[in-house]
Structure 1
């Protein structure tokens, strides 16, 4: 699992999704379509080795540790 494998937009969207808002809320915040948000998460999940938003949060926390 590598943070470098995520694009900057995948990283931003994953970080927001890990905090709990819906895809629609994330899309509104970033001026994207909900489908674009969904696509980025769909691509980020396997890169991080997770299958849920809870797993996403844990994976991102793990990446931030030194």
Structure 2
């Protein structure tokens, strides 16, 4: 796990140690720290969209149950 994780937009990143949202603001000290981390070779974790269990089911069955796997 990296120190930071990307979000759906470039408006912010998430600091993984405390789940703090860091806004894309050059005046924000946490953003400046993030930029320095990137320049030092840091690579943030990719954005992970939320999972909606209702989208993975049909008539109360999961896709795995429907497919028999």
Same fold by TM-score greater than 0.5:
no
- Greater share of residues in helix: 1
Task: Look at both structures and tell me which one has the larger radius of gyration over its CA atoms.
Answer: 2
- Greater share of residues in strand: 2
Q: Tell me which of the two structures has the higher relative contact order, counting C-alpha pairs closer than 8 angstroms and 6 or more residues apart.
A: 1
